[in-house]
Amino acid sequence: MCQSSTCPHCGKPLRLSARFCGMCGKPLPRRAQSSLNALKHRSRVLGGKILPGLISLALICFALTIINPVRQNLLAAIGWDESNALPINTATATITTFEVRETNDSLSTPTVAVAPPSPTTHAVAESSDKSLLEVHVIDVGQGDSILIRTPEGKTALIDGGYDNGRALAYLQAEGVTRIDVMVASHPHADHIGGLVEVLTALSVGEVWTSGATHTTGTYERFLDAIIAAKVPYYEARRGDAIPLGSLNLNILHSDPNASELNNTSVVLRLAYGRISFLFTGDAEHAAEYEMLATVRDQLSATVLKVAHHGSYTSSSPEFLAAVQPAVAIYSAGRDNTYGHPHPGTIQALRRIGATVYGTDEHGTIVITTDGKNYHVQTEYDRPPIQAPPTDTWHDSISLIPGSNLSIADRDCSDFTTQAEAQAFFLANGGPGRDPHRLDGDNDGIACERLP
């Protein structure tokens, strides 16, 4: 993608089109598909951006000498099945209707009137109304996967969860045979693992990432799948827009050079009429601060996909105040060992008036809208998430400069190996004192599912 805010051909400021200059009409330069091999090389040579600093230069050099195609095929996948999560069951669902009323001030946040939930239950299914936009937050267990269907029939898939087959199974059950736009928010296995299966089984129009690299087998298989499918590959940058029919997925954040992989996340905003969605990947406080400093006026959204599965490393009070969502949805595995969602995050969302849903409690969640009203449909007939008692959680923290800082939360997805997680666990409390909830079964061993 073009790295600047001006067209390299005519020098005019770039408009929203991600493909062509809005002034001169000439195509903008984008990273070629052949550079995927360069990304693979970079991920191996540099060891990603979270390679532990304790690995010596001699070991790195030794590792480089033994990398070859045979070894690549033997790399262990970092993903795992969510075998304990509830299976998708479309037997029952609830639907809640919302109306967004016009206000006299066109710049003000729309007023939302909430109608009582309908007692009618029905299966999650494709709407026959061709004027509706659909956003499906798919229950993939402890991961993220979001399907978007436009009124024109265009499709986008943001992340795919782990490589446990759940995202692909849902798409096939919904009759999806093509994904026009695939976005990998960042290269953690709980976001890209299932994309490999989708690239293999379905037609994909193009793939977008932040350009951040990782050293896992899952990441290499993801790049290999893109190359094998001969799918155009692009790197997202703030200010770009990804066309999706007549709509745009506007990129508010993408930083391949962030020190934490979560903060490389591609953050997208989608608007249809007066209804808007903000998809945040695993963006943490540092990324939130950057967005507050650069695109604050673009952050407001009717529906927020809560970042990082509801961890309190995300969803700072300042960021939530800028977004002001009417509905907040997090994706997390039922009875997960990471402590997601964090009670403080739920409390922060409830404080700003958001109605909160989660895939661990509600299963797959589908939002449909005609641009004026929107409907929230849940797979399981359960009420929205309520705030916990105030004596059971630490308040939502802020890492915004000038705020009262607290230690940042960590979960197992922040570590590459179990040994790395165990070292952090022992240095920050250890058995019996586990503020980050890395030892979910209290056996003294943190993040046992990591390699």
What pLDDT, on the 0 to 100 scale, is given for residue 387? 66
Ordered alpha helix ranges (H), 282-378: 285-294, 317-323, 343-351, 359-362
Which tokens in the block code for residue 249? Answer: 């997925």
Q: How many Cα neighbours within 13 Å face the side chain of 138? A: 28
pLDDT digits 0-9 by tens, 384-425: 988 665 433 334 444 444 443 333 456 676 677 788 878 787
What pLDDT, on the 0 to 100 scale, is given for residue 431? 76
Strands (E), 28-149: 94-101, 111-114, 133-137, 146-149
For range 193-220, the mean pLDDT = 94
pLDDT at 433 over 90: no
Query: With left for phi above 0 and alpha for psi between -120 and 50, is residue 318 left, alpha or beta?
Result: alpha
Helix (H, G, I), strand (E, B) or coil at 219: helix
Q: Which domains does the chain have, with CATH numbers?
A: 1-27 (no CATH), 94-387 (3.60.15.10)
pLDDT digits 0-9 by tens, 343-359: 888 888 988 899 999 99
Helix (H, G, I), strand (E, B) or coil at 433: coil
For range 16-22, the mean pLDDT = 44
For range 205-216, the mean pLDDT = 92
What pLDDT, on the 0 to 100 scale, is given for residue 41? 64
pLDDT at 449 over 50: yes
pLDDT digits 0-9 by tens, 78-132: 333 433 333 333 334 444 555 443 333 333 333 333 333 332 232 333 444 678 9
Whole-structure pTM value:
0.67
The C-alpha atoms of residue 299 and residue 127 are separated, in whole angstroms, by 28
Highest mean pLDDT among 26-30, 43-47, 244-248, 330-334: 244-248
pLDDT at 234 over 80: yes
Mean pLDDT value across the chain: 74
pLDDT at 298 over 50: yes
Residues 6+ apart with CB under 8 A from 136: 124, 146, 147, 148, 149, 170, 174, 364, 365, 366
Strand bridging mode 355-358 / 233-235: unpaired
The C-alpha atoms of residue 329 and residue 142 are separated, in whole angstroms, by 14
What pLDDT, on the 0 to 100 scale, is given for residue 426? 78
Of residues 311 and 188, more confidence is placed in 188
pLDDT at 428 over 80: no
Quickly state the pLDDT bin for 73 (edges 50, 70, 90).
Answer: very low
Which tokens in the block code for residue 383? Answer: 């009420």
Q: Give the closest residue to 305 by CA, choosing from 102, 146, 98.
A: 146
